[in-house]
Amino acid sequence: MNTNTVDAKMLSRMFLSGAKNLEAKKEWINELNVFPVPDGDTGTNMTLTIMAAASEVSTLSDPTMKTLAKAISSGSLRGARGNSGVILSQLLRGFTKAIEHHEYVDAMGFAKAFEKGVETAYKAVMKPKEGTILTVAKGAAVKALEIAEHSETLETFFSDVIAEAETVLSRTPEMLPVLKEAGVVDSGGQGLLEVLKGAFDGYMGKEIDMNFERPAHAVVGKPVTAEESDIKFGYCTEFIIMLEKEFSEKDEERFKDYLLSIGDSLVVVADDEIVKVHVHTNAPGDAIQRALTYGQLSNMKIDNMRLEHHERLIKDAEKVAAQQAKAEPKKEVGFISVSVGEGMGDIFRELGADYLIEGGQTMNPSTEDVLQAISHVNAKNIFIFPNNKNIILAANQARDLTEDKNIIVIPTKTIPQGITALISYVPDKTVEQNAEEMLEAMTHVKTGQITYAVRDTKIDDKEIRQGDIMGIGDKGILAVGQGIEDITVETLKEMVDEDTEIISIYYGSDVTEEDAEQLCERLEELYPDFDVEINQGGQPIYYYVVSVE
């Protein structure tokens, strides 16, 4: 290919191809995480982030640069998960701002867009760290500006930029010693490189699957378990689309294919002004969301075929609840907490949390998940406890997108920090005073997490073998060996000091109550002057979460 500009249609193809390449490599990228824990999630977070944007882009039948930019920016912003996903969304946000008003993009246009993306991403991170995805993005942007005027074709331009990104990525272990010790490059930087490589494949005409599904959300609020049924698709969904743009035969086929991918019993009847739709599905919201890309909806009807005899009671109850919520004035303060495990959720509820986002380690919630939680809390001021360092940026992004409520993100990095912060709330004090005291209280909490290694590596001068039990503290590996109880005790020995007063134990879904009580008794013998508390956490992957205060 020997062209010097890219139009919106080609850029759309490139973006979708980049998303697909990242998706294909996500598990490999997960394995690049420094800590060999079973919840390595950089590849997953970046993939879910870009797929949220790709699902928006794939609905554009005839994109302009402006509609494409909006789809990429909005989709990735709301779908962003984890630190790597949020940074990727900011790179895309800055990139799209630079190209949205152009009809075509040439090498210099791409270079300036890369530069704007890097600038936007660096601003979004409070303390940017070199040797990460940011460094790889910056290296690629600098190279792009350097060669843009002299590149004969976009093909050579893209090739040279990608080669520079690879070179910078290979140097990340020299910038971050922890990467060098673990023998890996930065996983976020690798993810960005795969997006660039995939985009280049799209530019060069490589065949890609253009079908995209919107990523599932983290579980927001208390999960509801549906009854078992012989009906495969439980919701009879009907509506009329009042078309606001052309609905071609190709659009109709694409729409039908999508609906059949999430349901059956499909009937779609279209004319120049409206489209009548009937489908049985387990995801009526997804069907409606896709339909909204073509126009406004009317005559909407959703029947639960499994629970049809209860439907009227449910609808009446929902109406009453909605009317009551609308009539009630906003309370002054509300609380949202990220949690994982039934026991952990119960603790937060008892402490006054209004809404829980079930996510945590194994599934980082997206910005959109946090926004949904905010919409459910009827309060003027809402405290959010991310309880995971990989969720703080997504919570901050949701805060910045909220206009009608005052959102205060308390940057708790662990569940115990979140519990302590929430306990510190005093109703008689101002929001500002409470925020200050929560921030102070969480600094006195040390957290340890006990899990198993999924691969061989070396970290903090500790040799780790696949299957070893590890105790991970706030700043690194504290203990490695065999025996869950022994490693938990060793981990706590590294955490306690002369200021320690309380040891809290939260046992996970893979630990019996008897084993947890046995550990508690052992700790009470070792530390007779400390209060040792035991709680059922129910968290997956981590046998124990422990804290000292």
504 CB-contact burial (10 Å; exposed 0-12 / middle 13-18 / buried 19+): buried
Using alpha carbons, select from 204, 261, 195 the residue that is nearest to residue 23.
195
Contact 188, 15 (CB under 8 A): no
What pLDDT is attached to residue 363? 66
- DSSP 8-state secondary structure symbol assigned to residue 308: G
What pLDDT is attached to residue 437? 94
CB atoms within 10 A of CB 73: 21
Distances (CA, A) of 139 to 136, 191, 215, 504: 5, 15, 30, 45
Containing 449, the helix (H) or strand (E) segment is strand 446-452
Average of per-residue pLDDT across 236-242: 85
Q: pTM above the 0.85 mark?
A: no
Return d(Cα 519, Cα 516) in angstroms, integer. 5
Confidence of residue 206 (pLDDT cuts 50, 70, 90): confident
What pLDDT is attached to residue 211? 63
What pLDDT is attached to residue 312? 46
The pLDDT tens digits of the residues spanning 126-154 come to: 778 899 999 999 999 999 999 999 988 99
Using alpha carbons, select from 445, 447, 477, 483 the residue that is nearest to residue 463.
477
Return d(Cα 404, Cα 507) in angstroms, integer. 39
Pick the more confident residue, 300 or 272.
300
Residue 327 predicted with pLDDT over 90: no
The pLDDT tens digits of the residues spanning 336-377 come to: 999 988 888 889 998 999 999 987 555 688 888 899 899 889
Task: Tell me if residue 192 falls in helix, strand or coil.
Answer: helix
What pLDDT is attached to residue 456? 85
Return d(Cα 225, Cα 229) in angstroms, integer. 12
What pLDDT is attached to residue 212? 56
- Tokens 């303060």 -> residue: 333
The amino acid occupying position 109 is G
- DSSP 8-state secondary structure symbol assigned to residue 81: B
What pLDDT is attached to residue 490? 94
CB atoms within 10 A of CB 402: 15
Return d(Cα 367, Cα 370) in angstroms, integer. 5
Share of the chain above pLDDT 90, in %: 51
What pLDDT is attached to residue 219? 44
| Range of 189-203, 246-260, 362-376 with top mean pLDDT | 189-203
Mean per-residue pLDDT of the chain:
86
